[in-house]
Structure 1
Amino acid sequence: MYKIKDIPKISSRKPDTHKGDYGRVLVLAGSIGMTGAACLCSTASLRAGAGIVTLGIPESLYGIVASQLTCVMTRPLPETQVKTLSDLGRQDILDFSQRFDVIAIGPGLSQYPETKRLVLWLLQSLDIPIVLDADGINALADSPKILDQIKRHIILTPHPGEMARLVGVSTIEVQSRRLEISRMFVKGRRNVTLVLKGYRTIVMNEEQFYLNETGNPGMATAGVGDVLTGIIAALSGQQYTPFKAAQLGVYLHGLAGDLAAQEVGQISLIATDILDSLPKAFLACEEGL
């Protein structure tokens, strides 16, 4: 287990730099009724220091997210009849992804069959690091062997229910055997880092293990996981190793939740409170608190 003193230090910024030096993040997220997940993830990436964030969204939802996101760029993409990302956009996404350092896939994508096919094709075709969450993980659960075909590194961020679908057991079993199931999942998968969310979130790869101690029960609310995905993607784009990006991301996410709870209490805590507290969490880490 890693202690707080072992959390990676936040890299300081040099005066002679520009936005491209701090990571270009592509986010594929959102569907009808789930634009909030896309906005939370994208904004969290900026708050976590990414230099450039672009959100790929079903084309008819472009106006909704563009009105909410003033600092995030948007990329309208082909959509299905139910306003989810369409398989027709696969080559556009693949070509466009070459401009980025990391891609986050999953928040609010939906489990529409055509969208799931798109996700599975992208997982086998993308040549940049991936952070996979939510409906991206649900798509992978249909074909878990695709993990062995990932070209670069992938960070998966399942909650216990998503983890249960990935490994084919019940959520109760996942919760009762969190460490054992995590070890079994990463064994033999050198390009995989697992973030099993929940009380004492686990970050694990084949060689390293971290048990997080920040966070509180108020964070058990919709959208909080989308924020974490954005944070980890941003740190990955800033050249942290996959394990360190996940470890620092989980720690900062929980710390921001703790700081937010001090302001609004645990009962009233919502995902945007964590976003608002991220700057304080980064400052606390920079000051060594």
Structure 2
Amino acid sequence: MPKRKFKGLMPARKSDSHKGDYGHVFILAGSYGLTGAAYLTSQASLLSGSGLVTLGIPESLNPIMEVKLTEVMTRPLAETKGLTPGLKAFPQINKILPGIDALAVGPGLSRNYQTQKLVHKLLLSVTKPLVLDADGINALIGKLEVLHNLKAELVITPHPGEMARLLNLSIAQVQKNRTRIAKDFAKKYNVVVVLKGYRTVIADPKGKIFINETGNPGMASAGCGDVLTGIIAAFLGQRMSAFEAAKLGVYIHGLAGDIAAKEKGR
């Protein structure tokens, strides 16, 4: 798709606007040893146009984010013994949800059982659009029925390994049938699928498919997926549809990688 068509998807900014016009994104991310994922997702969301970004982080790790993040607000959350967000954090999150326009859940959360229960409860409760990534996706292994009871638009962003685990397939099977698998999953569970990798596939529940052509091998690096999650969340918060937010997010993410490759090499 030509750049000019993507330019038309970008939310217009009026001269007399303020930060409240561009969405408040809540990000649930980070655990002991994985605070970088929370940082990258939050910064990416802010730099992609979000008016406000709040990061929910285990309370013991909050001082780290208070130092690293200047414009992103933080919300210390009840935690497990493993310093991951705990199920007791749900009331804390639920209290601020009325003022939130979109959510991103998953980067660096860990696979702690209580944290996964928190993810399930959020998915079944939120009425605002949400992007689910990384350990948020891992929380659905063996629990895909949760997706049949959503109250909001959901974008799910698995890499081939995560999709393979969700469907109990091999990575080779996923890679051989990328478009069909993304399309079938989107239709069955009524979500937008971003199946990452070479020529990332975006599929919506109505059968629409977009195959992205930006990006390069230099982006096969830890943290790139966290950045993509933050970008998509920013666009959801700016009232784009889930499919359009996913398309534009993936395109811009890859384009930024291509620009960086030209300037710095792969």
Give how far 1:5 is off.
Answer: 5.1
1 CA distance for matches of 2:9 and 2:152? 24
TM-aligned CA deviation for residue 92 of structure 1:
1.5
TM-score (norm 1): 0.89
Is 1:195 the counterpart of 2:191? The answer is no
Equivalenced residue count is: 264
Alignment gaps of 5+ in structure 1:
267-289
The reply on whether 1:231 has 2:212 as its aligned counterpart is no
Aligned to 2:148: 148
TM-score (norm 2): 0.96
Residue 167 (structure 1) aligns with: 167
Find out whether 1:52 has 2:29 as its counterpart: no
Aligned equivalents of 2:241, 2:127: Cα separation in 1? 16
1:143-194: CA deviation from partner (whole Å, max 9, x where unpaired): 001001110110000110111111121111101110111121112443x100
- SS of 2:202's partner is strand
Q: Which residue of 1 aligns with 2:37?
A: 37
SS at 1:195's partner residue?
A: strand
Aligned-residue offset at 1:242: 0.7
* 2:123 matched residue in structure 1: 123
Q: Report the alpha carbon displacement of residue 206 of structure 1 after superposing the two structures with TM.
A: 2.3
Determine if contact 2:105/2:130 at 8 Å carries over to the other structure. yes
The answer to whether the 8 A contact 1:97-1:103 is kept is: no
Aligned residue for 2:205?
206
SS of equivalent to 1:57: strand
Give the RMSD, CA atoms, in angstroms. Answer: 1.2
1:109 matched residue in structure 2: 109
SS at match of 2:99: coil
Q: Which residue of 1 aligns with 2:251?
A: 251
Can you list the C-alpha shifts for 1:182-224, whole angstroms capped at 9, x where unaligned?
121112443x100000000011112321000000000000000
- Greater Cα offset, 225-234 or 179-188: 179-188
Identity %: 53
Query: Distance in 2 between the 1:35 and 1:167 partners?
Result: 28
Amino acid at match of 1:138: N
- What are the within-5 Å matches in structure 2 for residues 268-287 of structure 1? none
Check whether the contact 2:132–2:155 (CA below 8 A) recurs between aligned residues: yes
Matches of 1:199 and 1:45, distance apart in 2: 23
Greater than 3 Å deviation, 4+ residue runs: 2-6
Structure 1 residue 12: Cα displacement? 2.6
Once residues 98 and 166 of structure 1 are traced to their aligned partners in structure 2, the CA distance between those partners, rounded to angstroms, is 31
Deviation, 1:90, is: 1.2
Partner of 2:68: 68
| Aligned residue number for residue 83 of structure 2 | 83
Counterpart of 1:24 in structure 2 is 24
Letter in 2 for 1:64: I
Q: Tell me the SS of whatever aligns to 2:15.
A: coil
Deviations 1:94-117 (A, max 9, x none): 222221000100000000111111
